[in-house]
């Protein structure tokens, strides 16, 4: 039994051997088996467990179990304790938090890969969940075994095989008793549908794996075609894409093509997008991130943030007391630092390199938010803070002469420019936001 | 309730109004509702029911029910009574027989379309059946509403909607109690899986219809791409296709492309097909109908029947008593006709137009088999008789000067050349098959 897992890892993931691995572990049978297995193989592993406190005492017992397992296996163990309270699905928010935390651990502790314990039954369940919701090819092509620095070594194996491994190796685990509504759908599929499918075909997971491969191959062919078509219909200038409408209309199914070409730009109203082909010049459709504009014979796609970056930068020289444009800021030397708030920050005078710059944000900008750990992309920060497009558009940054962000004005200061020891601080105040 | 069905038909299938329609009817709620509905709409319909006698008395009661319904609605009703005993699946053989019989009725009675009562739940069930078996995009794109002269007017509606229509219109139907093993899978899916999916999403069939549309669009894009690629890699000469291997190998996923390009030629061993790319020149793969040959830098695809048609034709002039090549036949005038058998036929002398021709069969050949009704494609006849490739290769035809088939030699005589009244018959005997 153990050999099956070992062989798969040696054959398909041989490079894991010499790497520093972080296992995402819940305490459930899958991730505990993964941890035990890789320990048995003498791989270099650590554990990472998120406690979202969604199931009270049970959640704490999971955490305790993982900590004890780490001690028993002599593995470095990271845990984090988070209360999430999202607008949307807790499940989704928890997932996002988890993967973000893993990436942070990777950066901070130089891990090479995060390993998760997803298995073949998870793929089937996800397929069926997407089927109940309505989906398309993208929702039916499974979970990738390798995706960037995330690796899923148990993906070819069934839950049953994993449990058998646990049992035959006297491995204990925590059973997730949760019937929380967020898990309702997956549980129904796991306990009521998958077993019937397996009754019909005892080798279901094997034939299903082949099915997924077939669908992936279909997707590859589509991607090849889309690449050809995009080349054919597109001209690009300064990061703005122009699609020639007459060429789109010559395609056999323009709507299907528009979907495939534009899906990565977060459009959702595909009928509107399609109707744009025959709409009046000047009409446009907005996605979360992009604008699609009908302009005579073209559909013009531009990044909604792009327009923001077109504003000029403003320079602030040493000893300036106040600027009034593009926004009103005052600068004042103070000896003591009062509590900073949204519209006032204190910066160590010795840390400022003039001229300062006031400018709009650009893709790729990052900063070190005060009160958080490490560096963060501005786009990510905006997303976490749920800034609307309009708020993002209105925002200005205060940077030093090296273009490092000192202040996301009116939002959050960068910790690099705070000086606790300085006798001379500069108090910067936003008087009136534009 | 009724309006929903009516509106759909008026809007999407308006051309049915003036056509001669044949409804495939089992006696179950779906097909009975379809018959009642179209009668209410004053469409020109007839009924066709196959009794396969698979469920004893129940099958006969179904037939009786349909005949009574036809009388009640004042519709012409066709029934046929068949015992099938296939090598493979009864379900499949019955389906094939049914559609073939419908096509015969269409030809004989000048129907425009066959209408079947498939509905949205059937699509879902078929999707899930294919999922349990292992499938790919082709198995997930549903049942077409219009396919040649077969039309499915109830396809957008659920079984529930159809039953509600029946109930509110006091329509009675026959419940199929069968749990025959051939229906085992569909029944399990219908009664154990579909209901749970609908609990999870009460609008399942609506979102599922969208899913199917999305997958169909994916398939269209694939077809566009395959067309491009085939054009790029193929040269054709005399119906033989040559694919340039180096160009296939330049594709990102040659195996996926080979599958899409060659699937219509009945290959099944896709690994073998793929390995042919790098095999020794001269190696070949056979499908039921085709040969794929590696020939230096090309894969050459040819019809397995094609080689057969390359043999010359042989002429037989009036008063010939015997030919020895390509096969040995004797011709003898007789006044009375004995029982014909496999190797001897009797033909009305007045019906023979010389010179007769002995030749191999070709695609498109058809004849009027003695003992069957109407005309039949030779390829179809061979299939029904389960002739092996070698038997088909060895076969010769005896034709008249107009190239009409008189005898599939050693197999079956054509009824057009039999003369019950002739005083002079020609007895033709196959002495020795080559």
Could you give the angle at the alpha carbon of B362 between the alpha carbons of B358 and B366, nearest 5°? 90
Beta pairing partners, A334: A425
CB B410 within 8 A of CB B344: no
Q: Choose among A135, A136, A211: nearest Cβ to B134.
A: A211
Asked if the C-beta of A195 comes within 8 angstroms of chain B's C-beta atoms, the answer is no
Q: What is the DSSP string of B306-375?
A: TTGGGSPPEEE-TT--EE-SSSEEEEEEESS----BTTEEEEEGGG--SSEEEE---TT-EE-BTTSSS-
In Å, what is the CA distance from B142 to each residue of B138, B147, B219, B254, B356? 8, 12, 12, 27, 49
End-to-end CA distance of chain B: 67
Q: Of A383 and B249, which is predicted with more confidence?
A: B249
Asked if the C-beta of A378 comes within 8 angstroms of chain B's C-beta atoms, the answer is no
pLDDT over 90 at A272, yes or no:
yes
What is the reported pLDDT for B307? 58
End-to-end CA distance of chain A: 67
What is the spatial distance between Cα B138 and Cα A1, in angstroms, rounded to a whole number?
A: 36
- Please report residues of A whose CB lies closer than 8 A to that of B188: 196, 199-200
* CATH architecture for the domain at B2-200: 3-Layer(aba) Sandwich (3.40)
Q: Over the stretch A103-121, which tens digit does the pLDDT of each residue have?
A: 999 989 999 999 999 999 9
Beta pairing partners, B276: none
Q: Of A266 and B212, which is predicted with more confidence?
A: B212
What is the spatial distance between Cα B266 and Cα B282, in angstroms, rounded to a whole number?
A: 21
Between chain A and chain B, the number of residue pairs with CB atoms below 8 A apart is 121
What is the spatial distance between Cα A298 and Cα A292, in angstroms, rounded to a whole number?
A: 10
In the structure, what pLDDT confidence band is assigned to residue A179 with cuts at 50, 70 and 90? Answer: low
The CA distance from A131 to the nearest CA of chain B, in Å, is: 7
- Percentage with pLDDT > 90 across chain B: 59
Asked if the C-beta of A232 comes within 8 angstroms of chain B's C-beta atoms, the answer is no
User: Cβ contact (<8 Å) for B137 and A257?
Assistant: no
In the structure, what pLDDT confidence band is assigned to residue B292 with cuts at 50, 70 and 90? Answer: very high
Q: What is the ipTM of this complex?
A: 0.74
Strands A290-295 and A284-286 come out as antiparallel
Asked if the C-beta of A250 comes within 8 angstroms of chain B's C-beta atoms, the answer is no
Q: Choose among B221, B226, B251: nearest Cβ to A257.
A: B221
Q: Over the stretch B344-386, which tens digit does the pLDDT of each residue have?
A: 898 988 888 888 999 988 877 899 998 888 889 998 898 888 8
- Annotated binding-site residue? B278: no
Contacts of A288 (CB under 8 A, 6+ apart): A266, A389
What is the reported pLDDT for B389? 67
Q: Of A92 and B170, which is predicted with more confidence?
A: B170
- Annotated binding-site residue? A229: no
Q: Over the stretch B395-431, which tens digit does the pLDDT of each residue have?
A: 899 999 888 999 999 999 999 988 777 678 889 999 8
Q: Over the stretch A12-65, which tens digit does the pLDDT of each residue have?
A: 999 999 999 999 999 999 999 999 999 999 999 999 999 988 888 889 999 999
- Annotated binding-site residue? A33: no
Q: Span B89-95, mean pLDDT?
A: 79
**What residue spans define the domains of chain B?**
2-200, 228-303, 309-432
Looking from the CA of B64 toward its CB, the CA atoms found within 13 Å total 6
What is the reported pLDDT for A434? 44
What is the spatial distance between Cα B75 and Cα B72, in angstroms, rounded to a whole number?
A: 8
- Please report residues of B whose CB lies closer than 8 A to that of A220: 252-253, 256
Q: How is residue B185 written in tokens?
A: 């899978």
Q: Choose among A133, A215, A256: nearest Cβ to B221.
A: A256
Matching residue, tokens 């292992």: B134
Q: Over the stretch B187-203, which tens digit does the pLDDT of each residue have?
A: 999 999 999 999 999 99
Out of A33-42, A85-94, A347-356, B100-109, the most confident range is A33-42
Q: Over the stretch A62-98, which tens digit does the pLDDT of each residue have?
A: 999 999 999 999 999 999 988 877 666 777 788 888 9
pLDDT over 60 at B180, yes or no:
no
Contacts of B340 (CB under 8 A, 6+ apart): B346, B370, B413
What is the spatial distance between Cα B326 and Cα B394, in angstroms, rounded to a whole number?
A: 11
In the structure, what pLDDT confidence band is assigned to residue A361 with cuts at 50, 70 and 90? Answer: confident
pLDDT over 60 at A4, yes or no:
yes
Lowest mean pLDDT segment, chosen from A415-424, B58-67, B113-122, B139-148: A415-424
What is the spatial distance between Cα A273 and Cα A259, in angstroms, rounded to a whole number?
A: 9
* CATH architecture for the domain at A311-432: 3-Layer(bba) Sandwich (3.50)
What are phi and psi for residue B82, nearest 5 degrees? Answer: -135, 135
User: Cβ contact (<8 Å) for B211 and A131?
Assistant: yes
Could you give the angle at the alpha carbon of B47 between the alpha carbons of B43 and B53, nearest 5°? 160
In the structure, what pLDDT confidence band is assigned to residue B271 with cuts at 50, 70 and 90? Answer: very high
Domain B2-200 and domain B228-303, same fold? Reply is: no
Asked if the C-beta of A137 comes within 8 angstroms of chain B's C-beta atoms, the answer is yes
Q: Choose among A132, A197, A206: nearest Cβ to B201.
A: A132
Asked if the C-beta of A180 comes within 8 angstroms of chain B's C-beta atoms, the answer is no
Chain A: residue nearest B226 by CA? A221
User: Cβ contact (<8 Å) for B132 and A188?
Assistant: no
Could you give the angle at the alpha carbon of B309 between the alpha carbons of B305 and B314, nearest 5°? 145
What is the spatial distance between Cα A241 and Cα A247, in angstroms, rounded to a whole number?
A: 14
Q: What is the CA radius of gyration of chain B?
A: 27
Q: What is the DSSP string of A134-182?
A: ---GGGGS---SEETTEE-TTTTS-HHHHHHHHHHTT----------HH
Return contacts of A193-200, CB within 8 angstroms, 24+ apart.
A193/A128, A193/B193, A193/B196, A193/B197, A194/A121, A194/A124, A194/A125, A194/A128, A196/B188, A196/B189, A196/B192, A196/B193, A197/A124, A197/B128, A197/B131, A197/B132, A197/B193, A199/B188, A200/B132, A200/B185, A200/B188, A200/B189
In the structure, what pLDDT confidence band is assigned to residue B434 with cuts at 50, 70 and 90? Answer: very low
Contacts of B173 (CB under 8 A, 6+ apart): B27, B28, B29, B32, B33, B65, B166
What is the spatial distance between Cα A85 and Cα A83, in angstroms, rounded to a whole number?
A: 7
What is the reported pLDDT for A308? 57
pLDDT over 80 at A178, yes or no:
no
Asked if the C-beta of A217 comes within 8 angstroms of chain B's C-beta atoms, the answer is yes
Q: How is residue B319 written in tokens?
A: 């008063």
* CATH architecture for the domain at B228-303: 2-Layer Sandwich (3.30)
Q: Over the stretch B233-243, which tens digit does the pLDDT of each residue have?
A: 999 876 688 99
pLDDT over 80 at B338, yes or no:
no
What is the spatial distance between Cα B269 and Cα B273, in angstroms, rounded to a whole number?
A: 6
């Amino acid at each position: 039994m153990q050999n099956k897992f070992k062989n798969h890892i040696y054959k398909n993931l041989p490079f894991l051997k010499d790497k520093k691995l972080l296992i995402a572990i819940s305490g459930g049978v899958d991730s505990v088996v993964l941890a035990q297995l890789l320990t048995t193989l003498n791989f270099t592993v650590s554990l990472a467990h998120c406690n979202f406190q969604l199931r009270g005492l049970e959640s704490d017992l999971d955490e305790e179990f993982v900590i004890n397992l780490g001690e028993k296996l002599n593995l470095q163990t990271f845990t984090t304790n988070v209360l999430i309270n999202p607008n949307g699905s807790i499940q989704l928010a928890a997932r996002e938090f988890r993967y973000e935390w893993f990436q942070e651990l990777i950066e901070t502790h130089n891990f090479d890969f995060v390993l998760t314990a997803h298995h073949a039954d998870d793929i089937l369940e996800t397929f069926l969940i997407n089927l109940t919701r309505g989906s398309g090819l993208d929702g039916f092509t499974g979970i990738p075994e390798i995706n960037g620095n995330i690796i899923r070594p148990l993906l070819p194996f069934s839950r049953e095989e994993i449990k058998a491994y646990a049992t035959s190796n006297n491995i204990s685990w925590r059973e997730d008793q949760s019937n929380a509504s967020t898990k309702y759908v997956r549980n129904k599929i796991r306990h009521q549908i998958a077993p019937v499918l397996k009754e019909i075909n005892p080798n279901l997971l094997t034939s299903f794996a082949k099915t997924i491969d077939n669908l992936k191959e279909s997707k590859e062919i589509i991607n090849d075609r889309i690449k050809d078509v995009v080349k054919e219909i597109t001209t690009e200038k300064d990061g703005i894409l122009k699609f020639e409408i007459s060429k789109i209309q010559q395609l056999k199914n323009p709507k299907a093509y528009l979907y495939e070409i534009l899906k990565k730009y977060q459009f959702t109203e595909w009928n509107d997008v399609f109707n744009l082909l025959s709409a009046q010049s000047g009409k446009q459709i907005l996605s979360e991130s992009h604008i699609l504009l009908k302009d005579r014979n073209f559909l013009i796609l531009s990044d909604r943030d792009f327009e923001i970056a077109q504003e000029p930068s403003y320079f602030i020289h040493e000893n300036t007391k106040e600027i009034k444009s593009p926004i009103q800021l005052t600068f004042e030397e103070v000896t003591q630092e009062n509590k900073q708030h949204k519209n006032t920050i204190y910066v160590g005078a010795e840390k400022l390199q003039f001229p300062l710059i006031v400018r709009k944000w650009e893709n790729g900008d990052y900063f070190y938010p005060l009160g958080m750990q490490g560096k963060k992309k501005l786009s990510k920060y905006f997303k976490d803070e749920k800034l609307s497009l309009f708020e993002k558009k209105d925002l200005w940054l205060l940077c030093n002469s090296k273009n490092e962000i000192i202040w996301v004005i009116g939002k959050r200061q960068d910790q690099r420019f705070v000086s606790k020891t300085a006798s001379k601080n500069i108090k910067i105040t936003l008087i009136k936001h534009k």
